[in-house]
Amino acid sequence: MSKRSCLSIILAAGEGTRMKSSKPKVLHEIAGLPMVAHVLAAAAEAGGTETALVVGHGGEEVGRVAARLAASPEIFVQEQRLGTGHAVLAARAAIERGYDDILVMFGDTPLVEPAVLLEARRRLAEGAAVAVVGFRPHNPAGYGRLIVVDGKLVAIREDKDASAAEKEIGFCNGGLMAIAGSHALALLDKVGNANAKGEYYLTDIVAIAAEAGLDVVATEASAESVLGINNRAELAEAEAIWQHRRRRAAMLSGVTLIAPETVHFSHDTEIGQDTLVEPNVWFGPGVEVAEGAKIHAFSHIEGATIASGCDVGPFARLRPGADLQEKAKVGNFCEVKKATIEKGAKVNHLTYIGDARVGAGANIGAGTVTCNYDGYSKFFTDIGDGAFVGSNSSLVAPVTIGNGAYVASGSVITESVPEDALAFGRARQKTLPGKGKSLRELRASAAAAKK
């Protein structure tokens, strides 16, 4: 199989009006990645050597996004929407270059599995001219039926044209197709538009190939793998299926998910074995978690790196650029952004650390804030190894807290603190005996006067 060249043609010209969105349908996301990118990835994993992406008129945005996410697919424009056969032929220039296999896929089927595509290609390698991917839905009504005789696919009968006996067939057209490159253009050019809609249907090549004495076969996939997305309800269903697959894969790789149905992964989440994830954790894009970490409940993590033995949450937020090194701790109601928390450092409670370094073994007290933004620019805070910052302190960047230094609770630190120094940045307490009582009486009197 590896020696066979393969062109993947991905049809993404549909307007997706049922999505009720200004965004092209195939750019709606599953696990933080556009649907079409999932399809591109599956094609690549199935050995696709080149990719042709067919977009509709005004589909430049789809092409731009796809170019950023995949290995530069070649973009073709279907100026008029005249059916799937017409859409495939929009990529004629690519087909004419000559490939062993041609895969025809749809940009709105994000759950397609590479194994399904590989099986269709395998059948081409065995001599089939066309391999159609079928599936068995719970209710076949509305789907085209695959008419198989003696192991050969002889026709695809649309539901409205099927006889009573054919309607009893549960094996249906999943839409995906593999075509032998040596026959592709000859078959596609014979597809006509003598139908009620005046469109060119890709499915017609099945009968054309069978009549020409060519082998046409059907392979079988799960209903999930060929699920097409037409509206936001189906988008949510596909998201749920993707998440179920990913959670299962994580658990089988040695990750403990206490309540897996409550954990959300992104398409690129990496998580090491022996990591424990408690309920209601959200992994956004760009998260890497090493072995043996603990992610406590209700934490929200994106664009972050978490080393082995780290402890995060509950109710922690790690934003892009957060880098937790070995055995670091970021506790409850803490936020870390573009900051390194070095080995064994602790940021335990109600704290914001942004644009900063917290040195190895340092301790950051509850309510500490790195004041990193002046309304125009961001500034850096450097907290040294073994430093201790007392609760409710504000560190006004740019500022450095030296190794082993102490910052007294309630301080506002505007100047750097030398190594091993103790810094106070607060007003001296003054106590006025009896003043509380007189103040309370004064306020009560004023309130009574307003009645």
Catalytically active residues, by annotation: 349
Amino acid at 69: L
Strand, coil or helix: 270 = strand
d(CA 263, CA 226) in angstroms, rounded, equals 25
**Best CA proximity match to 87, nearest among 76, 98, 74:** 76
Q: Is the CB of residue 209 less than 8 Å from the CB of residue 216?
A: yes
Rounded to 5 degrees, what angle do the CA atoms 344, 348, 349 make? 165
d(CA 450, CA 382) in angstroms, rounded, equals 52
Residue 146, sorted as left (phi over 0), alpha (psi -120 to 50) or beta, turns out to be beta
d(CA 28, CA 234) in angstroms, rounded, equals 11
**Best CA proximity match to 215, nearest among 148, 118, 136, 117:** 148
Give start and end residues of each alpha helix (H) in 198-313: 204-211, 232-252
Length, in residues, of the chain: 451
d(CA 415, CA 402) in angstroms, rounded, equals 11
Q: Which residues lie across from 69 on neighbouring strands? A: none
**Best CA proximity match to 286, nearest among 259, 323, 255, 252:** 323
d(CA 11, CA 6) in angstroms, rounded, equals 16
- φ and ψ at residue 375, rounded to 5 degrees: 100, -15
Handedness of CA 194, 196, 200, 204 (dihedral sign): negative
CA atoms within 13 A on the CB side of 357: 13
**Best CA proximity match to 366, nearest among 376, 379, 380, 352:** 352
Output the furthest CA–CA distance in the chain (Å, rounded): 106
Q: Is the CB of residue 268 less than 8 Å from the CB of residue 141?
A: no
d(CA 37, CA 449) in angstroms, rounded, equals 69
Q: Is the CB of residue 223 less than 8 Å from the CB of residue 149?
A: no
